[in-house]
Amino acid sequence: MARIILVTGGARSGKSSFAEKLANTAGNKIAYIATAEIWDAEMAERVDLHQKRRPSGWLTFEAPRQAETAIATAASSAEVILFDCLTVYSSNCLLAQPDDATPPVRREAVLDALDRLVAAARQASGTVIFVTNEVGDGIVPDNALAREFRDVAGLVNQKVAQAADDVYWVVCGLPVEIKRQASVIMEGLRDG
């Protein structure tokens, strides 16, 4: 059973860089699962930055959807799997739904895909590190799809945080371990 780590933070917070450092310390054979699809020059630049930062010896798997298969494949040859990122993966799953699907149907489809992903991660040996964005801390989006995505991303993050052994929040480039702190707080609430 894998050790699952979740790394969350805002845009350009340093979360991916921190997750890469964690991966390097967790094992020698590292697989990177990339979820982005390149639709424009800005996304191409982001992908290029990530690729340049990664060591050349890492195995790379492209999995914009159905990433549970990529996790199972990566687990057969790697000690550490770095999945970057859940937010983009959730967006891909959300946008893959039929245009006439209702928000509850789309949400359940994304959460079902996430359940399959977490189940595959649990079956791996070694360490699985998920990177995600904390998107709900900003302004309320101005359109229905963006609000739906923000809500789905929040639910995805909660589910993975519950499944994770460790959760880190990266802010201003500084990682803060939050799952153990949360456990202490919740225990205090039960006692009081």
Distances (CA, A) of 52 to 15, 88, 130, 139: 16, 19, 20, 32
- Give catalytic residue positions: 50
Strand order in the sheet with 30-34: 59-62, 30-34, 80-84, 127-133, 3-9, 166-171, 174-177
Q: Which residue type does 48 have?
A: D
Q: How far apart are CA 28 and CA 143, in angstroms?
A: 44
Task: Report the distance separating Cα 82 and Cα 117, nearest Å.
Answer: 13
Of the candidates 152, 47, 137, 49, the residue with the CA atom closest to the CA atom of residue 91: 152
* CA terminus-to-terminus distance, the chain: 34
Token pair of 116, please? 């399959």
